[in-house]
Structure 1
Amino acid sequence: MKSLKKFIKSDTAFAWILLAPATLALILIRVLPLIEGVGISFTNRRLLNDRPTRVVLFENYIRVFTQDKEFWNAFLFTLIYTVFVVALSYAIGLMIALLMNMKIKFRGLFRVLLLIPWIIPAVVAAASWKWALNDQSGVVNQILKSLHIVSSSIPFMANPFWAKLVAIFFGAWKNYPYMALSLLAGLQTVPEDTKEAARIDGANTFQLFFRVTLPQIRPVTVVCTTLMFIWTFNNFDNIYLLTGGGPDGASQVISVLSYYSAFARMNMGYASAISTVMLVFMLIVAVFYIKMVMKEDKE
């Protein structure tokens, strides 16, 4: 009894009291729907309840892994899309971060401007890109034809290859500001005396960059690229708003496929199975991320 009273009066108990509302909200909003979604994946539940719901155990998962070519096509493109978006975002972000780390005029203004793609709502950005890339009146095709680069309009949204390419560049354009800001913060932590010592030892600009700067920002690089991989792999709005997964499913990612399975084909059980597979894959990536972060902290 005395130990209980002592615990109630302790800082630990006060901390748990403060955490209780947020923890309860997290359970109600995140944990319970997640558990329900995994449970639905083992049933044949439909959105309209036009047939009795029954437990089918692993039938949906067997279909996902052995029978659904659409899922594997979406999974493959999701990986390709994610890898290229992260790689392009990192390359563009690193170049901009290096530029913003220099002492140039209007540096503060440039830092604000680089945030524009990130802060523009996805629906507005997608609508702007679709208008610019329209094969009839889009400004991009008009410029290309006026410069005699192409003789006829490029069907950016109607051609599978171009639709995939546009989706990747759109994703990189939306995400590079986050990478640029994160890498800029990392660059500003690189000690100037370390770079100065490398210059005295005869290091040129490229040696200074690859042997001093990049190793110094490696922890930031690992964290940013891993987090962006998770976010991009799970992203729904960019693809859905820009291409809708078309043409003919060419640019479809797993999140869009899950959405169509649930709300267009009314198959909630199968959509939940697809989402659960995504969850397991992301958990594996998250474990890898945590191990990488712990390794960086030890170093």
Structure 2
Amino acid sequence: MELSKKKYMSDGQFGFLLVLPSLILLSLIVLFPMLYVVYLALFTFVRGEAKFTGLMNYINILFRDDKFWMYFYHSIQYIVFGVGSAFVVGLIVAMSLNIITRFKGLSRTIALWAWAVPPVIASLMWKWILNDTNGSLNFILMQVGLIRSPIPWLSLPTGTMLVLSFVHAWTTIPFIMIILLAGLQT
């Protein structure tokens, strides 16, 4: 006697049903606050009293605030240098680790070292390295003879964004590298 197996839904529908509670929770956590902020931006609050202004807040920021575009440019610069350089270096490291046959485990452990450092510790470490008065980077560059006086790396008018992007990339490269390495090995 053969048992008949009746399928109520396909595997794809069943998978979607399993993921649905997570999607609902994520939409409540992300979408609700995002839409609420857009709603609040349509009002001006004076002493706790809300006055509807429509899109005037957006118009004021985009066309009347001189600093907005400077901040926007700095954000784009940070994204391009920080994320772009992290992706390029992460790809190079992943491709290198994919080729290595000897000492594979050791080389991957060394490549992941920066990811194991907590962000707070990493920021303090880089703050110490880049310190203008007694940082190790200035000390090494002065000992080698590349610079004559210390450089204030974290207060340069033009290069600070590049330095911060480099520090961000340093902490992000291992994550990008491991994702790309996993993709290369499948």
TM over 0.5: yes
In the alignment, which residue of structure 2 is the partner of 1:135?
132
Q: Does 1:159 align with 2:152?
A: no
In the alignment, which residue of structure 2 is the partner of 1:87?
84
Separation in 1 of the partners of 2:52 and 2:110? 53
Gaps of 5+ in 2: 1-6
TM-score (norm 1): 0.53
Separation in 1 of the partners of 2:14 and 2:176? 38
In the alignment, which residue of structure 2 is the partner of 1:289?
none
In the alignment, which residue of structure 1 is the partner of 2:28?
28
1:26–1:165 distance in 2 versus 1, CA, 3 Å: closer
Separation in 1 of the partners of 2:97 and 2:15? 41
Gaps of 5+ in 1: 1-8, 190-299
Task: Give the partner amino acid of 2:170.
Answer: W
Structure scoring higher RCO (CA < 8 A, sep ≥ 6) equals 1
Alpha-carbon contact 2:130-2:153 (below 8 Å) kept = yes
1:157–1:97 distance in 2 versus 1, CA, 3 Å: same
Give the C-alpha shift of residue 76 in structure 1: 1.1
Over the residues paired in the alignment, what is the CA RMSD in angstroms? 2.6
Separation in 1 of the partners of 2:118 and 2:60? 36
Q: Could you report, residue by residue, the CA deviation over 1:195-219 in whole angstroms, capped at 9, with x for unpaired residues?
A: xxxxxxxxxxxxxxxxxxxxxxxxx
TM-score (norm 2): 0.81
Q: Pairwise mapping of residues 1-299 of structure 1 onto structure 2 (< 5 A)?
A: 10-11=8-9, 18-19=18-19, 21-45=21-45, 50-189=47-186
Separation in 2 of the partners of 1:104 and 1:14? 41
1:133–1:103 distance in 2 versus 1, CA, 3 Å: closer
Q: Share of identical aligned residues, percent? A: 34
Pick the structure with more strand per residue.
Answer: 2
Separation in 1 of the partners of 2:19 and 2:100? 44
Task: Give the partner amino acid of 1:31.
Answer: L
What secondary structure sits across from 1:44 in the alignment?
A: strand
Aligned residues: 178
Task: Give the partner amino acid of 1:39.
Answer: Y
Q: Could you report, residue by residue, the CA deviation over 1:181-239 in whole angstroms, capped at 9, with x for unpaired residues?
A: 233234335xxxxxxxxxxxxxxxxxxxxxxxxxxxxxxxxxxxxxxxxxxxxxxxxxx
Separation in 1 of the partners of 2:179 and 2:15? 31
Give the C-alpha shift of residue 58 in structure 1: 0.8
Alpha-carbon contact 1:100-1:107 (below 8 Å) kept = yes
Give the C-alpha shift of residue 73 in structure 1: 0.8
Separation in 2 of the partners of 1:139 and 1:98? 31
Alpha-carbon contact 1:155-1:162 (below 8 Å) kept = no
